[in-house]
A and B are shown apart, each in its own frame.
Chain A
Amino acid sequence: MSQYKIIFTGPVGAGKTTAIDSISDVPPVKTDAAASDMTKNRKAATTVAMDYGIMNLDDGEKIHLYGTPGQERFDFMWDILTVGGIGLVLLLDNTRADPFKDMQFFLDSFGKFISETSVAIGITQMDLSTKPSINEYHKYLQGSDLKPAIFSVDARVKNDVSLLVQALLFSLDPGLEDE
């Protein structure tokens, strides 16, 4: 049976674990551990392996939701995770020092996967830091080949995460309709 997956990526503390939790049909398998390195400034616990959730479709098919570890020292796992992936959801934390740098890093790191599929970007923590604005993210990407959906997202809110994933699906095929 095919393994269909949607990949969630982004820096530490961007809300990947929470976003998967928001749309997963089962309690997600979390692999958080107490942070003991540079990540401890961002959150008390961080994902050291990966998060995993499932969306059950009506016909019994399962969509696997994978969250990549946020720390760069685990980036060897990213290529393995994306094999057979439907598309990429990139979450960025707007309170970090340089969210543009974060975005560029992840778009570059997953460049091949994005070129074969698509990407939708969710900006989290915009209630804590309103800058950069969504328009500034779009401006930053002007001149690149990418024109992704970029939404303000509260990873705890199911509708926000759902709309972001919907945008990813429509980016792949605007002709899609509900079944």
Chain B
Amino acid sequence: MKNKDSTPLKLALYGMDDRAYKTMCLYLKGPCKGVAVVVDESEAEIDLLDADHIKARELLDQLQAKMPNRPLIILSLEEILIDGTIYVKKPVETADIMAALKQAKISLSTDIPKKVKVIAKPETEQKIEASPIQKSTKQPVIEEVPVAKNIDKEEKKKVSKHRTAMDLTEGSFSAYIGNVDGVNFSDHEQALKASYNPKGYFLGYVQSAIKVCKAKSRILQLNSGWQPLIVFPHSQEIWLDVEDKQLRAFAGVAISKNSAKSMSLIPIDQSKFDAKGKMEGFFDNEYFLWKLAIWTSKGRFPDTIDINKPVYLMQWPNFSRLVVTPHAMRIAALLIRGPRTAMGIANALNIKPQYVFVFISAANVLGILGQARRQVDELIAPPEVQATKAKGLLSRILGRLRG
């Protein structure tokens, strides 16, 4: 006779892309010793939801409405306490998931109908607010709802978020960023006057929207009289449904006082947000701001930086997920060693100042570049760049990597 205890529990997964789905299947099979197997939603005894997924709120509502008595395990980085669910903190530890499955199994055998009301303890309210499963004081939707997908294939379509960096050469740089009329960057005096005010461009409004969104922990929509831009606080994403060339053109146009009047920032309900199947419109905040800063700068520097004084870099930018402008890695490697002026960097690396200015613009927007305030940084000249003994070899490796 087959031992009932050894029969694997049947589990349905929600809010996971293909890779996470497969990983969880293997994880249950291996470290969890096959205590549960992943099955289709219709055959499942237990549901498991990744609550950090952008559509987690929607998925949760659907599950609670459709299968109110089925045990539900919720995985999340932040603690989420919802009545009638079992919480497991991510990254998932084997012991925790085993315990959760055991609890779900007990709940199955006792067959107690569960409430689906959401109850958040006061002290954890803030954390719940910050999660995609935001506060839900509404009663669950009882009407017929569409079947929840086991794998959220939409997440995979956010290619803009996950793709590797674009590496720009000097040749492709001008074509990518466009030119500023009337500035000759080869002229030292003209270059030093080539500044712009970020607040007078779309960039400034997006930066401001992100700040407000973060402070209020709410999804906000920035209306500009152009295309609406949505800012998400928890996932730190931006959604904007336009092509790069349109954004580049808009980024480079100074916002007039009249246009500024049409700018507004309004809160929106996540359940009402519809990406219209355009998941490629999702961008990581840092990637979007970096790119927008490049297109706003067009080789100029932000007037919030005194270009005659040294600047310093707090950390390397995450270049593998950003647009890599010409010489950006060299500038970062030099600047991380200590403060330098923009012109000092251009001279040390023997490059045109606009490559330095565009880097300063982008790094400044991410908050990883600052103006050196210490007197010593202006008093003492930074050391010259010493070539390593193996410079020839390293350059050949570099050439090989860049193909």
| Interface residues in chain A, defined as those with a beta carbon under 8 Å from any beta carbon in chain B | 4, 23, 40-41, 44, 55-59, 61, 63, 86, 95-97, 122, 127-131, 134-135, 138, 147-154, 157, 159-160, 162-167, 169-179
Contacts and interface: CB of A to CB of B under 8 A. Distances in A.
B293 to A, nearest CB: 17
B164 A166 contact: no
Contact of B391 (A95, A97, A135, A173): A173
Of B162, B314, B398, most buried by chain A (CB within 10 Å of CB) is B398
B391 A149 contact: no
B398 A134 contact: no
Contacts of B399: 57-58, 178-179
Interface string B384-402: 0101101111111111111
Contacts, number: 148
Contacts of B320: 122, 151-153, 159-160, 163-164
A40 B330 CA distance: 40
B332 A176 contact: no
Contact of A57 (B17, B31, B167, B400): B400
Interface residues of B, number: 50
Given A23-B401, A170-B333, A163 B165 contact: yes
Of B19, B94, B397, most buried by chain A (CB within 10 Å of CB) is B397
A175 B321 contact: no
Contacts of B334: 174
Contacts of B315: 135, 138, 147, 150
B23 interface: yes
Given A159-B165, A167-B329, A169-B398, A61 B393 contact: yes
B31 A170 contact: no
A165 B403 CA distance: 13
B352 interface: no
B94 A165 contact: no
A45 B316 CA distance: 34
30 contacts: A23-B401, A44-B30, A57-B400, A86-B393, A86-B397, A97-B93, A128-B20, A131-B90, A138-B314, A147-B315, A148-B316, A150-B318, A152-B320, A152-B321, A154-B164, A157-B164, A159-B167, A160-B165, A163-B319, A163-B324, A163-B329, A165-B397, A166-B329, A166-B398, A167-B332, A173-B388, A175-B330, A176-B394, A177-B395, A178-B399
B270 to A, nearest CB: 19
B318 A147 contact: no
B317 to A, nearest CB: 9
Nearest to B77: A131
B35 interface: no
Nearest to A149: B316
A57 to B, nearest CB: 5
A170 B387 contact: no
B91 interface: yes
Contacts of B30: 40-41, 44
A41 B392 contact: no
B266 interface: no
A130 B78 CA distance: 12
Nearest to B366: A135
Given A150-B315, A174-B385, A95 B91 contact: yes
A179 B385 contact: no
Contacts of A167: 316, 319, 329, 332-333
Given A154-B164, A173-B387, 4 more contacts: A127-B19, A148-B316, A163-B324, A175-B348
B336 interface: yes
Contact of B398 (A56, A59, A148, A179): A179
B333 A4 contact: no
Contacts of B333: 149, 167, 170-171, 174
A162 B393 contact: no
A170 B334 CA distance: 8
